Homo-oligomer: A and B are copies of this chain.
């Protein structure tokens, strides 16, 4: 442990960096000055250019193979290679970037050939998303939302047996920073018997953990729970933007559709399972009276070590706050410990019917609210369905998002004896609805 605490890099900005110290080394896809998007690794304030490193002969053998596939314009092929490629790449990167690297002088001389200043780079979606599945494993969120509809019986009978999920829209997944246009659609005004068409008035965010899928399974072959972790390629933050008024009117009987498909944002950096290993923990015990998971969803090791201890944060920055020079305001602090099901349980469930998971598939965890008012992962919960306005330091209030509002998700892992790591940000700013369609 102490060895890891002391791991320092000759890239000075990495040491003590809140997100990207040497212990993290997340992968992403970047470009600079409009050149071709390619894979890179976040280290402090820089992006380590994997293609440049390969070309310069900095890697050999398995690390070179892994780095070549991670240097591509999307990480799908790298995801497909699984844990051995990740380990080979990380070992190679530690050797190159550690404080006592044998090649330090040569690498420093390469300067920006090798290390691109992150703030000058554009970050892209790290992989082509095949299928996107959004789960609903945040039990406090399910409870809070259920209470708005069914005060006496918030959780449906299947919730504690089934890791509930649904298919989402892959074509509208954006990387952090892409603006989010307020959607138009049908809504049923309170008390009305006929819907109206127009811009959503109840635009919301959802704080989620994103899970990138690795090798995946052949069609018809379920992934056993004990092998599920091997099919996870990495993690990110995910904002499942939601138009609550469209959702309330459209979602019966087949689930959310246009209320979600206008935009989903993910953070650009894929935090690898190896970087998160120190932050694994036991799945919190189920409350007394809850059923045990069915055998296909139960694995002793997964129960002991399959959960994650990641601190999650939502911040809001409005136009007025920007004008007044105020910083973004934290509106929720939550944790991945609010997941009723582990990621391995989600993988095992998704494939148990023979459905094939593929490299580059993306899962959302569902909104990860905590049990308290200051840990709610959506405005729907914070404002109790729009009934209690949220007060902001600018003197404004919010029930749902206004045009110009920016939502910033962050995540951090801390544990005594280990260097902290972070996920970077998942940002999105609300643009006004399209006037053409709003007529």
Cβ 8 A contact of A352, one of B181, B185, B361: B185
- Interface pairs A-B: 8 shortest CB-CB: A255-B255, A183-B353, A167-B167, A166-B254, A258-B353, A262-B353, A254-B255, A261-B355
Q: Contacts A158-B250, A220-B434 known; A439 to B131 CB distance under 8 Å?
A: no
In the complex, are the beta carbons of B439 and A295 less than 8 A apart? Answer: yes
In the complex, are the beta carbons of B164 and A254 less than 8 A apart? Answer: yes
In the complex, are the beta carbons of B167 and A169 less than 8 A apart? Answer: yes
CA distance A259 to B162 in the complex (A): 13
In the complex, are the beta carbons of B354 and A181 less than 8 A apart? Answer: yes
Total number of A residues with any Cβ neighbor in B under 8 Å: 64
In the complex, are the beta carbons of B291 and A194 less than 8 A apart? Answer: yes
CB-CB under 8 A from A250, the residues of chain B are 158, 162, 164
CB-CB under 8 A from A258, the residues of chain B are 349-350, 352-353, 355
CA distance A131 to B356 in the complex (A): 15
CB-CB under 8 A from A246, the residues of chain B are 353
Shortest CB distance A185–B (Å): 5
Q: Contacts A169-B167, A361-B171, A434-B221 known; A162 to B249 CB distance under 8 Å?
A: yes
In the complex, are the beta carbons of B294 and A170 less than 8 A apart? Answer: no
CA distance A343 to B252 in the complex (A): 21
Q: Contacts A169-B131, A356-B172 known; A254 to B256 CB distance under 8 Å?
A: yes
Query: A219 contacts the other chain (Cβ, under 8 Å)?
Result: yes
Query: A36 contacts the other chain (Cβ, under 8 Å)?
Result: no
Cβ 8 A contact of A434, one of B157, B158, B185, B354: B354
The residue in chain B whose Cβ has the minimal distance to the Cβ of A356 is B171
Query: A358 contacts the other chain (Cβ, under 8 Å)?
Result: yes
20 contacts between A and B (CB under 8 A): A131-B169, A131-B170, A156-B252, A161-B194, A162-B186, A164-B253, A165-B257, A167-B169, A169-B355, A171-B355, A172-B355, A181-B354, A185-B353, A194-B291, A197-B296, A221-B434, A246-B353, A254-B256, A255-B255, A263-B354
Shortest CB distance A391–B (Å): 30
Interface membership of chain A positions 249-290, coded 1 if the CB is closer than 8 angstroms to chain B and 0 otherwise = 111111111110111000000000000000000000000000
CB-CB under 8 A from A188, the residues of chain B are 157-158
Interface membership of chain A positions 352-369, coded 1 if the CB is closer than 8 angstroms to chain B and 0 otherwise = 111111100100000000
Cβ 8 A contact of A252, one of B158, B167, B357: B158
Q: Which residues of A contact B (CB under 8 A)?
A: 130-131, 136, 156-158, 161-162, 164-172, 181, 183-186, 188, 194-195, 197, 219-222, 243, 246, 249-259, 261-263, 291, 294-296, 349-350, 352-358, 361, 434, 436-437, 439
The residue in chain B whose Cβ has the minimal distance to the Cβ of A249 is B158
**Stoichiometry, copies per complex:** 2
CA distance A221 to B194 in the complex (A): 26
CB-CB under 8 A from A194, the residues of chain B are 161, 291
The residue in chain B whose Cβ has the minimal distance to the Cβ of A149 is B253
Q: Contacts A185-B353, A197-B296, A352-B184 known; A255 to B170 CB distance under 8 Å?
A: no
CA distance A188 to B166 in the complex (A): 19
CA distance A263 to B354 in the complex (A): 9
The residue in chain B whose Cβ has the minimal distance to the Cβ of A165 is B257
Shortest CB distance A217–B (Å): 10
Cβ 8 A contact of A136, one of B222, B249, B254, B357: B254
Q: Contacts A161-B186, A434-B220 known; A353 to B166 CB distance under 8 Å?
A: no
CA distance A339 to B268 in the complex (A): 42
CB-CB under 8 A from A361, the residues of chain B are 171
Shortest CB distance A422–B (Å): 29
The residue in chain B whose Cβ has the minimal distance to the Cβ of A216 is B171
Q: Contacts A222-B184, A250-B162, A295-B439 known; A262 to B354 CB distance under 8 Å?
A: yes
CB-CB under 8 A from A436, the residues of chain B are 221-222
CA distance A264 to B164 in the complex (A): 21
In the complex, are the beta carbons of B166 and A355 less than 8 A apart? Answer: no
In the complex, are the beta carbons of A352 and B220 less than 8 A apart? Answer: no
In the complex, are the beta carbons of B437 and A222 less than 8 A apart? Answer: yes
CA distance A222 to B198 in the complex (A): 13
Shortest CB distance A338–B (Å): 18
